Structure 1
C-alpha cells in the first residue's frame, strides 16, 4: 500500500511528488512477510547477538500463525480486541484437536505446533510476544490500529522456587537408568551419555541451548597463576550463551568423571584434544556417512572411526531427559508415592539449572560467583533463587528491635 502527496512546490513550479509508503517496512506481500521484516530488525538490534530472542519469537510465531490459519481463518492485520481475547482464551484451554500426539513433519496437513497444553508461564510468554508484534507493526505504520493497545502486558515469568530436584529424586533417576537392561553396546552408549547429560546440567547450571550448542573441546584446562594449580573448566561460547557473553565455569569432579566415562563409551580418548573431527558435546548414537577414497564405510566402520552425529536441538535434548524421567516416575507410581511422581514428572532441563543455582547458594557460595556461573547479567536475577530481600529485612529488624521477629521453635519444620 502507498499513499500519495499530491503536489510539492519547488523552483516556482508545481510538481507531482513521488509516492510515499504508508509504512516503513518496505515492500511486503502479506502480514507474515511484514512480521519477518520486524523479526530481522529484532535480530539486528540484539545486544547479545546470540539469536536466542529470535528463536523464542519464531517459536511463538509458529503457534500464532497456526492459530490464524487453522482456527481463525484470518491474518493478524484483521484482528480486533475481541480476537486478542479469543486467542488468549484459546491458549488457556486448547481443544484436543489442536494437540499433536505424534511426531509429524511441520507443513503437513496434520501438523500442530502444540504438543501439550501450554502452562501459565508459556501462555504469558506467547501473549507478550503477540503484544510486542502488534506494537511494532503499529509503530511502523503497517497497522493503523493496535488491537492490543488496551490489553495490559502479561507479567514476566516468575521464578518458581519449587522447580528444583532434590538429591533423593535425582539419585533415583540415575538408579533407574543404571538398573535398566543394556543388552547392546548402543544401549550402553545411550545410558552413559544420558548420565552425563543429567550430571552436567546439575553440576554446571548450563541452559539447554548452551549444552546443545557446545563442542567437546569446550572442556579444557585452566591454569590459576595465583595458586599454581591447573583445573578443569568449561567454556560457554558467546554464540550459544543467552546473554551473548562468553563465560568459563569450573568443572566438578562428578562432571569430569561422567564426561570421561561418556567419551570412552563412544570410543573417544578420555579427554578432548586437537583433531580433524569437531564433535558436539551431546552425541547421537547415529553415525555420519563417510567416504574414504571411493568407498563409503559401513555403519560399524563409522563407529570405529567415531563419526558420530550430534543431538542438535533442544527438542532432542528434552526428549532424552523426559524419557529418562518417565521411567523413574513410573517406579514411584508403582510404589504408591504419587506426590513425588507428580513433582518429578514436571522436571525439565531448566529445573536442573535451578537445582544448581539453589544448591550453590544454599552451600554458601557468593551470590556474584553463582551469577557468573549462570551467565546472569545482573545479580538481581540470581537473587530470585533466594529469599535475600526478606532475610535482609529480618536482620534489620533484629538489629533495631531484637526479638521482634517470630522465630521457629524446635517443633517447627519447613517442608
Structure 2
C-alpha cells in the first residue's frame, strides 16, 4: 500500500486529533480504493473514475464517505507537494439524505425509567447499575463508548458535572442531575469502588455490546419494543427533549460534543411545530394581527 496513506493518517492524528476508530475507517477506505484502482499517489483522474462502477452497489451515504476520504487525501498530497494535480473531480458525488434519528416519546422514556427504578429498588447491584446507565444516557446525553469507559475520577463531588473524554480525545463537561448523582452514589457503595472504572467488568470496563444487551433487556421488562431502544436512541431523546424544552442549539452542541453545529441541527426537525407556534405567538409582527 502507498506510504502516502500512512503520512496522511499521521497528519490527521497530529493536526486534527483524529480518534483511533476514525483513522482506522480512513485507512479502510483508502486502502480499499487502492486495491480497486492502484496506487493513489500516482493515479490519473481517468483511472480514478473507475471506482464509480466498483462502488455502484453501495448506498449513497457509503459512496459519499469513501469519496470524502479520497478527496481529503488528494488535497493533502497537493498541499504537501506530492502531486501537482488533484484528480478527485473524477469521483462520484452522490447526494445522500441523512436519515432522521429514531426518537423515543416522553411516555416511552417514562416507561423505561419506571421499570429501571422499580428494579433498582431491590438493591440488586446489576439493577442499580442499569439505572445509573439509563440516567447518564438520557440525562446527560453520553455516547455509548463515553459511558462505559467512564473512570471513577470523572464522578462529580460537589459540582453537578461529569468530565467526559469524547471523540478525538476532546474533553467536555456534561450536566449530571441530582437523581443521577444519588443513583451513582448508591452504585458505588454496592460495587465497592475497587476499580478505576465507574462500570467495571473483568479486567476492564463494561463493553458497548453488553450495554446494548442490557438496554434491550430493560426494554422488554418495560414492555417496549426492544428494537426501538439503544444507547444512541437515548442520546437522541436527550437532545430532542431538551430542544423541545427550549434549550439553545449552541448549548446543546456543547453538551453533545459535536465539533460542527450542522450535526446538532438535525434535531431541529422534531420541533418544527413548536417553532411555528413560537413565531406566530412571539414574533413582534404577531401583535399586529392579520389584514382583511
TM-score, length-normalised on structure 2?
0.71
Residue in structure 1 matched with residue 244 of structure 2 by the alignment: 362
Structure 1, unpaired ranges of 5+: 1-29, 93-119, 223-230, 269-276, 288-308, 405-415
Residue in structure 2 matched with residue 42 of structure 1 by the alignment: 12
Tell me how far apart the structure 2 counterparts of residues 354 and 266 of structure 1 sit (CA, whole Å).
29
More helix by share: 2
Tell me how far apart the structure 2 counterparts of residues 244 and 66 of structure 1 sit (CA, whole Å).
27
Residue in structure 2 matched with residue 166 of structure 1 by the alignment: 105
Tell me how far apart the structure 1 counterparts of residues 256 and 160 of structure 2 sit (CA, whole Å).
17
Offset, 1:359: 1.5
Task: Give the CA RMSD over aligned residues.
Answer: 4.2
Match of 1:91 among 33, 47, 58: 58
Cα distance change, pair 218–399 in 1 and its aligned pair in 2 (3 A): same
Preserved contact between residue 57 and residue 129 of structure 1 (Cα < 8 Å): no
Structure 2, unpaired ranges of 5+: none
Tell me how far apart the structure 1 counterparts of residues 5 and 260 of structure 2 sit (CA, whole Å).
31
1:167-198 superposed Cα distances (whole Å, 9 cap, x missing partner): 44445556777999xxxx9xx55544343223
Preserved contact between residue 125 and residue 157 of structure 1 (Cα < 8 Å): no
Matches within 5 A, 1:253-332: 253-268=178-193, 279-284=196-201, 286-287=202-203, 309-311=204-206, 316-317=207-208, 319-327=209-217
Cα distance change, pair 248–328 in 1 and its aligned pair in 2 (3 A): closer
Cα distance change, pair 322–64 in 1 and its aligned pair in 2 (3 A): farther
Cα distance change, pair 132–156 in 1 and its aligned pair in 2 (3 A): farther
Q: Secondary structure at the match of 2:156?
A: strand
Q: Secondary structure at the match of 1:248?
A: strand
Residue in structure 2 matched with residue 219 of structure 1 by the alignment: 155
1:271-329 superposed Cα distances (whole Å, 9 cap, x missing partner): xxxxxx76123321x14xxxxxxxxxxxxxxxxxxxxx224xxxx31x12332344467
1:402 maps onto 2:289 in alignment: yes
Q: Secondary structure at the match of 2:173?
A: strand
More strand by share: 1
Residue in structure 2 matched with residue 57 of structure 1 by the alignment: 23
1:238-270 superposed Cα distances (whole Å, 9 cap, x missing partner): xx23476543333113322332333233223xx
Preserved contact between residue 125 and residue 191 of structure 2 (Cα < 8 Å): yes
Offset, 1:214: 3.1
1:98-139 superposed Cα distances (whole Å, 9 cap, x missing partner): xxxxxxxxxxxxxxxxxxxxxx64553343223322433355
Offset, 1:37: 0.7
Cα distance change, pair 133–397 in 1 and its aligned pair in 2 (3 A): farther
Residue in structure 2 matched with residue 24 of structure 1 by the alignment: none
- Higher Cα radius of gyration: 1
TM-score, length-normalised on structure 1?
0.53
Cα distance change, pair 245–195 in 1 and its aligned pair in 2 (3 A): same
Residue in structure 1 matched with residue 268 of structure 2 by the alignment: 386
Tell me how far apart the structure 2 counterparts of residues 262 and 214 of structure 1 sit (CA, whole Å).
14
Offset, 1:203: 0.6
Give the number of equivalent residue pairs.
280
